[in-house]
Amino acid sequence: MSTPIIRVHWLNESRAFRVLQLLEQLKLDYEIVPYKRNQDFRAPEDAKKIHPLGRFPLVELEDRTTGKKKVLAESGYIFHYILQHFDSKGLLKNNDPDQAEQIEYFLYYAEGSLQLPLMIEFILSMTKKAPIPFPLSYLSGKVADKISEKYSKGELQNQLKFVEGEIAKNQGYLVGGKLSGADILMLSPLQHALDGGFAKHEEYPHISKFMDTLTALDSYSAAMAKASANGGKF
Ligand SMILES: N[C@@H](CCC(=O)N[C@@H](CS)C(=O)NCC(=O)O)C(=O)O
């Protein structure tokens, strides 16, 4: 059976970038349907024509013979699906059953655990930058600091320490000392955390080195080139 047409609905500066990198790493052909964030950094409404939630990434698969379409949503599931169905050469396959399970675990973990405190920290940082007049800005800043201090800052550190330890144990990767789909999926929240100023590179040397490894891959520069040809930074 031939691989269907793979169409990535891609939003600039979003988690959709990692799907481009995955497809590049697997040397698969794909099309990009670009969407541009609006002034409020939100996705345009027309994505809801593809999937009711209108969140990115979205991947549309079109059967080359029948024209039948299927839409995949949710990064972890998209990665799972692509890795299961389209890695026919086994480029990212791990034949050790325990390690294969661990890769699956990270596909859930990225959005299920790591992303939550990171998003809270991100939203709190936006609150602090919002154009709110004084003295309300002072009060909202204090509330943001309190939530961060009581929950999200420490919880993000907790998650990052765990990831740091896993990479240290696995010779620079998340699983089994070699590149997997889990690494490509996890790069995005790790970049957001460390490059976005929510954690310090020097406190997480293994994550920092992991980010260098992943961004030095040809698949990363190829995905970057496609993103910028479609008008995005990534
Ligand atoms: N858990 C979802 C999250 C999807 C998500 O929220 N994506 C963001 C981009 S990083 C989005 O579409 N945002 C649109 C908006 O905020 O309007 C996944 O990993 O696919």
pTM: 0.96
For ligand 1, what atom is nearest to the CA of residue 53?
Answer: 12
Residue 111 CB–ligand 1 contact under 6 Å: yes
| 31 within 8 A of 20, measured Cβ to Cβ | no
Give kind and range of the element (H or E) at residue 71.
strand 69-73
**Is position 171 within any domain?**
yes
Both 108 and 190 in one domain: the answer is: yes
CATH number of the structural domain spanning residue 45: 3.40.30.10
In a domain? residue 145: yes
pLDDT of residue 209: 98
Q: Which atom of ligand 1 is nearest to the CA of 15?
A: 10
Provide the residue type at 52 as one letter.
P
- What is the per-residue pLDDT for 83? 98
Instruction: Determine, yes or no, domain membership for 30.
Output: yes
- Cα-to-centroid distance, 65 and ligand 1 (Å): 31
Q: Decide: 14 in ligand 1 pocket, CB within 6 A.
A: yes
What is the atom index within ligand 1 of the atom nearest the CA of 54?
12
Do 166 and 102 reside in the same domain of the chain? yes
Could you tell me the pLDDT band of residue 187, with boundaries at 50, 70 and 90? very high
Edge-to-edge strand list for the sheet holding 58-62:
31-35, 5-11, 58-62, 69-73
Same domain flag for 113 and 71: no
CA 17 to chain CA mean position, Å? 7
**One domain, residues 172 and 191:** yes
Residues 80 and 114 in one domain: no
Q: Residues 39, 113: one domain? A: no
Give residue 105's pLDDT: 98
Number of folded domains in the chain?
2
Examine residue 28 and state whether it is found in any structural domain, yes or no. yes
Question: Do 107 and 207 fall into the same domain?
Answer: yes
User: Rounded mean pLDDT of the chain?
Assistant: 96
What domain range includes position 78?
5-92+219-229
| Ligand 1: residue whose CA is nearest its atom 20 | 74
- φ, ψ for residue 230 (rounded to 5)? -100, 15
Together in a domain, 102 and 187: yes
Mutate which of 10, 14, 106, 119 to test ligand 1's pocket (most atoms within 8 Å of Cβ)? Answer: 14
In a domain? residue 208: yes
Query: How far apart are the CA of 171 and the centre of ligand 1, in A?
Result: 31
* pLDDT score for 128: 86
Residue 43 Cβ < 6 Å to ligand 1: yes
For residue 154, the model assigns a pLDDT of 97
Specify if 183 maps to a domain.
yes
- 189 CA from centroid of ligand 1 (Å): 12
Same domain, 73 and 104: no
Same domain, 204 and 190: yes
Assign 62 to helix, strand or coil.
strand
Nearest atom in ligand 1 to 47's CA: 12
Is 234 within the bounds of a domain? Answer: no
Q: Which residue has the higher pLDDT, 48 or 129?
A: 48
The pLDDT value given to residue 74: 98
3-state helix, strand, coil in the chain (%, to 5): 55, 10, 35
**Is the pLDDT at 29 greater than 90, yes or no?**
yes
Mutate to test the pocket of ligand 1, among 20, 55, 184, 191 (most ligand atoms within 8 A of CB): 55
Is the same domain home to 53 and 88?
yes
* CATH code for position 177: 1.20.1050.10
Considering the domain architecture, whether residues 105 and 209 belong to the same structural domain is answered as: yes
150 lines ligand 1 (CB under 6 A): no
- Count Cβ atoms within 10 A of the Cβ of residue 129 and give its class: 0-12 exposed, 13-18 middle, 19 or more buried: exposed
